[in-house]
Amino acid sequence: MLQIGGYRSTRATDDTTYSFEDVVMMGLAKDGGLFLPSKIPKLDSSFLQEWKDLSFQDLAFKIMEHYVSSDEIPYDDLKKLIERSYGTFRADDVTPIKPLDEKNGLYLLELFHGPTYAFKDVALQFVGNLFEYFLQKRNAGAKTLEERETLTVVGATSGDTGSAAIYGLRGKRDVSVFILYPTGRISPIQEEQMATVEDGNVHTLSVDGTFDDCQDYVKQIFGDVEFNKKHHVGAVNSINWARILAQMTYYFYSFFQLQKKVGADSKIKFVVPSGNFGDILAGYFAKEMGLPAEKLIIATNENDILDRFIKTGRYEKSSDNSKPAEVKATYSPAMDILISSNFERYLWYLVRQNLTDNDIEAGKILNEWMQKLKTEGTFSVPDSVLEQARKTFASERVTNEETVETIKSIYSSNQEKYVLDPHTAVGVKASYRNIENDANKNIKYISLSTAHPAKFAEVVNLSLSDYDGYSFEDQVLPEELKKLATKQKRFILVKEPSLDKIKNIIIEELAKEAK
């Protein structure tokens, strides 16, 4: 029997629990909450020895077997799903550690060796295979097309989730995928990655607005009971629990890899460029399970709701509530997010650890906080909750200028002329601030490199084009991505968007697929 005791919604007002299959296929709870395990499994300390030499794939399985019952997915099947998911990665060890500045104890965790060159691939290759597995199981007895259950995946992206979701779902039977992205707010390569995919089950919508607008449309679509009942809407954003689960592996894997390099007694901190709080939340689960990480450091760009929470205990759209909150277009656009949708999961555990020992009471408190956020744009947490958060997390806010300076300094400081993408640069700058301030100079830092620099040509070129001999085409852009520019782009432009307009587009596109 799993330790976790089943899955529940962060906003649950009753004892209903759900299976792993339920939460993967439903995505968002009917009450608008996010699914999470009632309890986070605690590992016996022997895992530190037993797991330290495991492959990425074997480690993924050892973690997942604490969250997925073999009654739901026989473990031989789960192992095959994992193998298939990471067989698409260019690096044999899937997510390698790279020494960046060993003198200062700084290492990069390269997460961009998957099909779309961003960390999202680690989860979305797995989620795509999970959807296929559960649909095959549900359709095993179907004799006609009409009897087959289908999944209509609807996702919002600020650039990377979209392409990773499309590459995880393209061509899969009984699945249609609709990705919404903010027009003009993603990079040319990110748009090319999504819009050049020719598979008939892939639909890309360029929406006039921000990522938060796209995310709001997605959540409203999930909340439309009739639409959801008819079209079986599925989630690929990190509102889907499976995204968080799959992202835990590289925290364990990189921790073990680094300890082998620097010694098992080394203290290690993780630094995570953050926007929707999905990536670092996986680190939180790893730490709560027992991974002895010293600290998790949230690195935000100038869209700093998470940094402001850690600094003030107030979760609010804007630091100046006298005017409407606006998301800033920064040099790390994938993190240009006003409200971090995954933060709700973490808040639920904070409430359960500090304010109540009752899941239903926790749901009531979360409902109150989320309602205040919706109506007043802000809520504050008690001091005990903030103190607890600061035991696990620290945070840094990095500006555009600091992002560019960091790309420059890393490029010019080593023979290899290593090029950072701007999101990774946000994390590296945050790492150096902590390295400078840490009294303990023996602490090691794993800074997550969440995308390949080729995806963000404009900022990389802005930073490096003055250097003699620098060439984006020769030094940064992989051959595979060069080819995208020659392909026909196919997307639906949604001007003056509305929920109904987007739902009608989905219905029309599904009808075309059915022909």
Ligand X SMILES: Cc1ncc(COP(=O)(O)O)c(C=O)c1O
Catalytic positions: 120
Closest to ligand LJ64HWYM by CB, 43 or 334: 334
CA distance 269 to 104: 13
Among residues 59, 451, 460, 502, which is the contact residue for ligand X, using CB under 6 A? 451
Per-residue H/E/C for 434-499: HHHHCCCCCCEEEEEECECHHHHHHHHHHHHCCCCCCCHHHHCCCHHHHHHHHCCCCCEEECCCCH
Mask 355-374, x = binds ligand LJ64HWYM (CB under 6 A)?
--------------------
* C-alpha torsion sign, points 298, 304, 306, 309: positive
Helix (H, G, I), strand (E, B) or coil at 79: helix
According to DSSP, the β-strands at 35-37 and 7-9 are antiparallel
Q: Does 279 bind ligand X (CB under 6 A)?
A: yes
Among residues 193, 254, 276, 424, which is the contact residue for ligand LJ64HWYM, using CB under 6 A? 276
Which whole-number Å values give the CA distances from 46 to 16, 23, 51, 290, 291, in the listed order?
Answer: 34, 30, 9, 10, 11
Closest to ligand LJ64HWYM by CB, 160 or 307: 160
Per CB under 6 A, the segment of 92-100, 270-278, 304-312, 469-477 that binds ligand LJ64HWYM is 270-278
CA distance 430 to 443: 14
Among residues 73, 118, 236, 370, which is the contact residue for ligand X, using CB under 6 A? 118
CA distance 198 to 70: 36
Q: Does 159 bind ligand LJ64HWYM (CB under 6 A)?
A: yes
User: By CB under 6 A, what part of segment 315-334 binds ligand X?
Assistant: 334
Among residues 8, 185, 269, 423, which is the contact residue for ligand X, using CB under 6 A? 423
Closest to ligand LJ64HWYM by CB, 117 or 411: 117
The count of chain residues that interact with ligand LJ64HWYM, using the rule CB under 6 A, is 12
Mask 223-242, x = binds ligand X (CB under 6 A)?
---------------x----
Closest to ligand LJ64HWYM by CB, 236 or 506: 236
Partner from ligand LJ64HWYM, ligand X, none binding residue 150, C-beta < 5-8 Å depending on class: none
Scanning 87-237, the segments in alpha helix (DSSP H) are 120-138, 160-169, 188-195, 211-223, 225-231
- Give per-residue burial for 363-385: e unless 16+ CB within 10 Å, then b: bebbbebbeebeeebbbebeeeb
Q: Does 29 bind ligand X (CB under 6 A)?
A: no
Q: Does 116 bind ligand X (CB under 6 A)?
A: no
User: By CB under 6 A, what part of segment 105-124 binds ligand LJ64HWYM?
Assistant: none
CA distance 315 to 409: 33
Among residues 33, 168, 278, 453, which is the contact residue for ligand X, using CB under 6 A? 278
According to DSSP, the β-strands at 492-494 and 202-207 are parallel
Among residues 158, 204, 228, 247, which is the contact residue for ligand LJ64HWYM, using CB under 6 A? 158
Partner from ligand X, ligand LJ64HWYM, none binding residue 157, C-beta < 5-8 Å depending on class: ligand LJ64HWYM
Among residues 278, 283, 363, 497, which is the contact residue for ligand LJ64HWYM, using CB under 6 A? 278
Minimum Å distance from CB 235 to ligand LJ64HWYM?
9
Among residues 238, 300, 392, 424, which is the contact residue for ligand LJ64HWYM, using CB under 6 A? 238
Q: Which DSSP letter does residue 417 get?
A: -
Q: Does 422 bind ligand LJ64HWYM (CB under 6 A)?
A: no
Helix axes 278-289 and 249-262, enclosed angle (nearest 10): 70
- Give per-residue burial for 7-18: e unless 16+ CB within 10 Å, then b: bbbbbbeeeebb
Residue 110 φ/ψ, nearest 5 degrees: -80, 110
According to DSSP, the β-strands at 97-101 and 106-110 are antiparallel
Give me the count of residues in the chain: 515
Q: Does 182 bind ligand LJ64HWYM (CB under 6 A)?
A: no
Identify each DSSP E strand in 301-390 by its residue range.
Answer: 314-316, 378-380
CA distance 490 to 194: 8
Q: Does 160 bind ligand X (CB under 6 A)?
A: yes
Among residues 85, 206, 276, 392, which is the contact residue for ligand X, using CB under 6 A? 276
Residues linked to residue 448 through DSSP beta bridges, in sequence order: 109
Partner from ligand LJ64HWYM, ligand X, none binding residue 423, C-beta < 5-8 Å depending on class: ligand X
Amino acid residing at 10: T
Q: Does 334 bind ligand LJ64HWYM (CB under 6 A)?
A: yes
Closest to ligand X by CB, 228 or 463: 463
Closest to ligand X by CB, 444 or 455: 455
Minimum Å distance from CB 192 to ligand LJ64HWYM?
15
Scanning 232-277, the segments in alpha helix (DSSP H) are 241-247, 249-262
Both tokens assigned to 182: 């903010």
Q: What share of the chain is helix, strand, coil (3-state, %, to 5)?
A: 50, 15, 35
Partner from ligand LJ64HWYM, ligand X, none binding residue 291, C-beta < 5-8 Å depending on class: none
CA distance 211 to 186: 10
Residues that bind ligand X (CB under 6 A): 118, 159-160, 238, 273-279, 334-335, 423, 450-451
Residues in the site for ligand LJ64HWYM, rule: CB under 6 A?
A: 157-162, 237-238, 275-276, 278, 334
